[in-house]
Amino acid sequence: MYSPMPMAEIDLTVYPDECDAFGHLNQASFLTLFERARWEMLARGPGMDVFTRHAVWPAVRKAGIDYHAAAFPGDVLRFGHALTHLGRTSFTMRQTARRPADDVLIATAEFVFVCISREGKPVPVPEPVGRFMATRDANDTGVRRLTVNGVSLAVDVRGDAAQPAILFVHGFPLDRTQWAPMLDALDGTFRIAPDLRGFGASDAPDLGYSMATYAADLIALLDALGVERVVVCGLSMGGYIAFELARRAPDRLRGLVLMDTRAEPDSPDARRNRDATAQQARDRGPSPIADAMLGRLLSERTPRTVAARVRGTIMATPVAGLVGALGAMRDRPDSTGLLADLTLPTLVIVGEDDSITPPTDARRLAEAIPNARLAIVSGAAHLPPIEQPRATARLVADFMAQLDQR
C-alpha cells in the first residue's frame, strides 16, 4: 500500500453542454472531466501516449464518485490526483475536484485500473507510469505548493537540499513541465522548477506582474526552501528573469545557464506587438498565442505528440498570467549593461533553428559575458529542453559538474 502521492493539478472549465436543465454540472459529466484531467496529467508527465507506447491499455475496473457541491457553467475546477495503490497489473487513483474561486470541494472520486493487452489479458503497469505516479520519497517529493511573496506557487522539487541547487525558470507561455525530462536526468543536484505566478498551477493574480515581481517571488521561494545559493537556468523569458536575479541578488547565484534568451529590451515595435497580443488574449483566450507561437517555438522535426503537449500547456495558461507576462516582458529593463560585469560562470545554450532568439544573438550574448561559453543544440528551435532533452540535460549536467570542481 502506498501513501497517497500528489501529482500535477489540472484546471478545467465547466461548459454549458455538460450541465443539466437546472444549470448544474451533470453527474455523468464528472466521469468525462475526471478522465480528461487524468490524460492531461499524463500529458504533463510521461506523455499521453505512454500506454500505447507500451501496447497496454488502462481499463477502468471500478469507478466511484462522491458529489459534494454543485458546479456551474464557467466554473474552473482544479483536479488533484493521488495514487493510493500500485499493484503489479493494477493501480488505484483518488481524484478531487475543487473550485479554487471559493475553495469548495465539488467531488471526490476513486478509480481502479487494470492494465490489459490487446487480447484483454492483465499485463504489468508500464514502468514509466508506475515511476511517474509512485517513486517519490520524502526528499524527492515532486510537486509542492508554497506560498511566497503573497502567491501560492506550484513547484517541482527533486533531490536533496544538501546537493548543489539549480533553479529552472520557464519561458513564455509555458510552465514548469517544460523541464520535466531535465529534472529526471539531473541526478545529484537539488532541482527546483516553479510555475511562475500566472502560469501552470500557480496562482494567477489579475495584477502585479513585472520582472522584479517574478524575481522577488523566486528569491522568496529559495528562502522558503532554505537554499542559499543556486545556479539559475532560465529559458527566454526565464532568462530575462535570470538577469533580474543577477541584478537584485548576485550573492545568491553560483552560475547562470541562459537558454534561447537575450539581454536587449523590446524595440518600440515589439512593445506594440505585446499590447496587441495581450488584447487578443483578453478577447479570445490563449488560442491566438498558441496559433502564432507554436510553429516558432519548435523545430519542424519535433514529434506531433510533443507539439500537442506544448499547445496543451499554452491553452491551459490563465489569461491573467498571459496578459501580465506580456506587460512584464514589454517593460523589462535593458540588461546589456550588466553583461560585462557578470563574473559568474555562464553557459549560453541555443537551439540551432531558433528564429526567436537566433544563434547569432546567443553568440553575441556569450561574447559579452566574460566567463561564458556557448553551446548550440542541433535539432532544436526555441525549446531545447523539450526538443532535445538528453543533449540539453548533458550540457547542463557537465556545467554543474565543472562548477563543483572549482
Question: Is 313 a binder of ligand MLT (CB under 6 A)?
Answer: no
Question: Which residue's CB is nearer to ligand MLT, number 311 or number 382?
Answer: 382
Angle at 24 between CA 20 and CA 28, to 5 degrees: 65
Q: How many residues bind ligand MLT (CB under 6 A)?
A: 7
Question: Is 236 a binder of ligand MLT (CB under 6 A)?
Answer: yes
Extended beta strands in 127-280, E state: 142-148, 151-158, 165-169, 190-194, 230-235, 253-259
Question: Which residue's CB is nearer to ligand MLT, number 171 or number 198?
Answer: 171
Q: Are 130 and 42 in contact (CB under 8 A)?
A: no
Residue with grid cell 565543472, as numbered in its chain: 402
Question: Is 237 a binder of ligand MLT (CB under 6 A)?
Answer: yes
Which of 277, 303, 278 minimizes the C-alpha distance to 386?
303
Question: Is 171 a binder of ligand MLT (CB under 6 A)?
Answer: yes
Count the helices and strands in the chain (H runs, E runs). 14, 14
Question: Which residue's CB is nearer to ligand MLT, number 91 or number 214?
Answer: 214
Alpha helices by DSSP H, 49-126: 50-53
Q: How far is the CB of 194 from ligand MLT (least distance, A)?
A: 15
Question: Is 47 a binder of ligand MLT (CB under 6 A)?
Answer: no
Q: How far is the CB of 107 from ligand MLT (least distance, A)?
A: 36
Question: Which residue's CB is nearer to ligand MLT, number 159 or number 173?
Answer: 173
Cell of 83: 495514487
Question: Which residue's CB is nearer to ligand MLT, number 298 or number 342?
Answer: 298
Exactly one of 10, 329, 377, 395 binds ligand MLT (CB under 6 A); which one? 329
Which of 405, 46, 400, 393 minimizes the C-alpha distance to 188?
400
Question: Is 214 a binder of ligand MLT (CB under 6 A)?
Answer: no
Spatial separation of the C-alpha atoms in residues 306 and 47, rounded to whole Å: 8
Question: Is 362 a binder of ligand MLT (CB under 6 A)?
Answer: no
Binding site for ligand MLT (CB under 6 A): 171-172, 236-237, 329, 356, 382
